[in-house]
Amino acid sequence: NAGVTQTPKFQVLKTGQSMTLQCAQDMNHNSMYWYRQDPGMGLRLIYYSASEGTTDKGEVPNGYNVSRLNKREFSLRLESAAPSQTSVYFCASSDTGTLYNEQFFGPGTRLTVL
């Protein structure tokens, strides 16, 4: 099992450009999450999806959109990138509702917006 995979690993954008971060999990989890982590800080939840076909805003959703394409895949889109979106983006998944709601994280995407 690959677990949670994210692409790309690194990306540099210019202000105003758009891009989509891809995330996939092979653990048959029902919940998926997108976080951002700024240098020296904790993770902040951008969006989450409790199940296929549903998405909800987290703590910092402005400037982002998401798509839960199917049970495996959850993408994050930046429509018009801004320097304030320079961060490391982590995708995670979990089997919500089981005894242990353990989140499994991907390796992250390091995004720089110039």
Partner 1 sequence: LAKTTQPISMDSYEGQEVNITCSHNNIATNDYITWYQQFPSQGPRFIIQGYKTKVTNEVASLFIPADRKSSTLSLPRVSLSDTAVYYCLVGDLINAGKSTFGDGTTLTVKP
Which residues here bind partner 1, judged by CB under 8 A?
4, 31, 33, 35, 41-45, 48-50, 56, 58-59, 90, 92, 94, 96-108
Contact assessment for residue 84 and residue 64, using Cβ atoms and an 8 Å cutoff: no
Q: Could you tell me the smallest distance in angstroms from the CB atom of residue 40 to partner 1?
A: 8
- The CB-of-16 to partner 1 minimum distance in angstroms stands at 28
Q: CB-based contacts of 31: which residues, under 8 Å, 6+ apart? A: 48, 49, 50, 51, 93, 94, 95, 96
Closer to partner 1 by Cβ: residue 2 or 41 = 41
We find the least distance from the C-beta atom of residue 97 to partner 1, in angstroms, to be 6
Nearest alpha-carbon partner for 87 in 100, 98, 76, 99 = 76
